Amino acid sequence: MSVSIFDSFLTTSDMIAVFDDAAIVQAMFRFEEALAQAQADEGMMEQSAARAIAGVCNAQLYDIPAIISAGRRAGSLAIPLVKELTKTVALYDAEAAGKVHWGGTSQDVIDTAMVLATRDALQLLDDGLHDLTGHLLELAERHLATPVLARTLMQPAQVTSFGFKLTGWLAPLVRARLRLREGASRALQLQLGGAVGTLAVMGEQGPAVAGRVAAALKLKVADAAWHTQRDEWVRLGLEVAVLSGSLGKLATDLSLMAQGEIAELAEPSGNGRGGSSAMPHKRNPVSAMIALAAATRTPQHAAALLASMGQQHERGLGNWQAELAEWPGLFLSAHGALQALNDAFAGLRIDSARMLRNIDALQGLVFAEAASAYLAAAIGKQAAHTLLEKMTGEALASDRHLADVLEEAVRRDDTLRAHVDTAHLRSLFDPVAATAPAHRLAQQQLQSLRGDIASLNQK
């Protein structure tokens, strides 16, 4: 598989190698080798024939660009591949050449090759999730009591715990890792059905051959050929798409918190990372950028998979081919995003002092709800709400802290003075104390997530 310079910029060399042309062709040869050996073991050909076939199932022996070009004319990459394999086997054993690809069909070869490549791709994603969830878990536990602004509709809302925010980033990634493994256990299965999915050429020996091929390739034996029944396969692809979406959510928050005016987080810098060709002061969040690019591109890949499911009868015309072309893009984007965010979180700078300054700069307004709830016990909910609306306006107009304005209001009002403990009222404006509800919830969730991560890491 060749990728453009811009695709390469957004992914990793490891994932490119998984879906590289030579890797897919070699996976197709692995299928042909396993098929021949299984048929020999079932007595359907001589062991010497299977050895002759296996001896030339090496992608390095073939002109891969020529096979790809011929595949375009033939309508399937497998057709010229099998033709070239047959010709090469015939150079050493003419009788064995007649047994190449016996009982299989083009889609068997290609789908199984894609399953083998996808298994490697999923391992890369799992490794990346292992690292990123580890970073997030450690940071979340460290920052359970670190106050930070929670923002709703892009505006300051209340004080929360940065550990709570990190836990919110962590949880969907742990779920993604679990769902990908579950999806893989169902979707990574052998494709072997022959011309119309019935294994007709191999007769009663077909199921036994399928079992042997699956065992050789360490794949699940499918209940039946899934040539045009793509539900489990597409579900797996959609789980990769959801992962990219979750990474995009994390990257969005990271990029917003790294804005110069906010400056609560910063990606690692140095060695030209995040620089600008024109502005020396810039520190661009390049990891967030790559993850956001992945999240932006992924919906189109996912939609194409869903659109390709209406495949005709026993072999799809155009839609299966579209699915094959879209499939690698999901993994290229997801792994690029994962690697980029792992780079960011391995050296993320967290400015907790700036988080406090951003809270303080809002003159206590983000504590208005807590103050209103406390004052409601003295003057009723509606009256307290009305009072806080008035006092927040006064605080803004006079450029004063809301706590000071409220204390003055309490001193001026006999009812409030009789029922309000000003020391307690002042305590409601303590940013660290305000993290307590988020701290408790995050701590509970982290306990469960820690167990899930430990279980995933053992498998």
Nearest alpha carbon to residue 136 among 171, 92, 160: 171
Whether 181 is catalytic is no
Number of domains within the chain? 3
* pLDDT over threshold 90, residue 280: no
Give the list of residues 6+ apart from residue 215 with CB closer than 8 angstroms, or none.
Answer: none
The CA-based angle 242-246-249, given to 5 degrees, is 140
Residues 314 and 357 in one domain: yes
Length of the chain counted residue by residue: 459
Nearest alpha carbon to residue 192 among 158, 220, 154: 220
Among the listed residues 186, 315, 400, 450, the single catalytic one is 315
* pLDDT over threshold 90, residue 156: yes
Residues 158 and 71 in one domain: no
pLDDT cut 70: percent of the chain above it: 97
Among the listed residues 69, 185, 276, 448, the single catalytic one is 276
What the block records as the tokens of 203 is 């007769």
End-to-end CA distance of the chain: 31
pLDDT reported for residue 275? 45
Residues 357 and 323 in one domain: yes
Residues 403 and 288 in one domain: no
- What is the number of other CB atoms lying within 10 angstroms of the CB of residue 237? 23
Contact 420, 405 (CB under 8 A): no
Residues 79 and 154 in one domain: no
* pLDDT over threshold 90, residue 270: no
Contact 313, 228 (CB under 8 A): yes
Q: pLDDT for 316-340, tens place per residue?
A: 999 999 999 999 999 999 999 999 9
Q: What is the dihedral of CA 415, 418, 421, 425, to 10 degrees?
A: 10
Q: How far apart are CA 253 and CA 256, in angstroms?
A: 5
Q: pLDDT for 233-256, tens place per residue?
A: 999 999 999 999 999 999 999 999
Q: How far apart are CA 242 and CA 253, in angstroms?
A: 17
Residues 27 and 133 in one domain: no
Question: What Rg value do the Cα atoms of the chain yield, rounded?
Answer: 30
Q: What is the DSSP letter of 318?
A: S
CATH number, position 414: 1.10.40
CATH number, position 43: 1.10.275.10
* pLDDT over threshold 50, residue 147: yes
Q: How far apart are CA 36 and CA 48, in angstroms?
A: 10
Residues 113 and 241 in one domain: yes
- Find the mean pLDDT for residues 217-223: 97
pLDDT reported for residue 106? 97
Q: How far apart are CA 148 and CA 435, in angstroms?
A: 8
Residues 237 and 289 in one domain: yes
- pLDDT-derived band at 459 (thresholds 50, 70, 90) equals confident
Strand partners, 189: 220
Which of residues 225, 242, 271 is at a domain's end? 225
pLDDT reported for residue 279? 43
Whether 400 is catalytic is no
- pLDDT-derived band at 122 (thresholds 50, 70, 90) equals very high
* pLDDT over threshold 90, residue 284: no
Residues 446 and 339 in one domain: yes
- Find the mean pLDDT for residues 160-164: 98
- Find the mean pLDDT for residues 196-214: 97
- Could you tell me which residue, 118 or 378, shows the higher pLDDT? 118
pLDDT reported for residue 1? 65
Q: pLDDT for 390-447, tens place per residue?
A: 999 999 999 999 999 999 999 998 888 888 999 999 999 999 999 999 999 999 999 9
* pLDDT over threshold 60, residue 44: yes
What the block records as the tokens of 446 is 């982290």
Q: How far apart are CA 241 and CA 380, in angstroms?
A: 49
Residues 144 and 277 in one domain: yes
Q: State which residues form the domain around 371.
A: 365-428
Q: What Cα–Cα distance (Å) separates residue 55 from each residue in 91, 136, 311?
A: 12, 48, 36
Residues 253 and 329 in one domain: yes
Residues 99 and 246 in one domain: no
- Find the mean pLDDT for residues 142-170: 98
Determine which helix (DSSP H) or strand (DSSP E) holds 161, and give its type and residue range.
Answer: strand 155-161
CATH number, position 294: 1.20.200.10
pLDDT reported for residue 302? 97
